[in-house]
Amino acid sequence: MTVKPLVKICGLSTPETLDAALQAGADWIGLVHFPRSPRHVALDRAAMLSRRARGRAGRVVLLVDPGDDLVAAAVAAIDPDLIQLHGRESPERVAAIRALTGRPVMKALGIATASDLDAVPAYAGIAERILLDAKAPPGAALPGGNGRAFDWSLIAGATLPEGWMLSGGLTPESVAEALARTGAPAVDVSSGVESAPGVKDPARIAAFVTAARGGF
């Protein structure tokens, strides 16, 4: 039996685009707290958006190499259903953040070559979910959200943990092919549904969810 893929719309920053994601039927909404990102939202604004989404979709806060104080502040403000770690957090750090917060964690791993998949087992037993994203290019300011896809053939035949998520350069135009080629149980999009960096496009959000759910 084929299972409907789950969809996460990340980097939302306004009530209007959050509502667009919810109305389209997104399973998760992502709030980025990372000042270098064009999708960054302050904790008070993220708290407002989180309250708006409560009970309508899973709420994810994205943090990059956060210290304990930031983790605690983000959890207190946003009350996330899932913490997404998108930096260079070690398996030990992921475990520590889970212990500190009592919240499930998703660890993002950058993929550029087959050897990058070697890191998956170390995290799979600790993080509730693994997100495979395109590795940022050398010198990039952001660890993700760069609009790049990785070679999906790299994960053909790979043993991946249940509930893994595919990210990296996905768009309304490419997501159906990505799902068909990888069998991903979940997909994550950010720049692929934007009209400019950090500016979400409600029409592209709706088109992405529709394309991901095509046939379901």
Residues marked active site are found at 10, 133
Name the 3-class secondary structure at 60: strand
84-123 exposure pattern, b = at least 16 Cβ within 10 A, e = fewer: bbbeebebebbbebbeebebebbbbbbbeeeeebeebeeb
Other Cβ atoms less than 10 A from the Cβ of 215: the count is 8
CA distances from 69 to 75, 84, 133 (A): 10, 16, 27
What is the rounded CA–CA span in Å between residue 107 and residue 110? 10
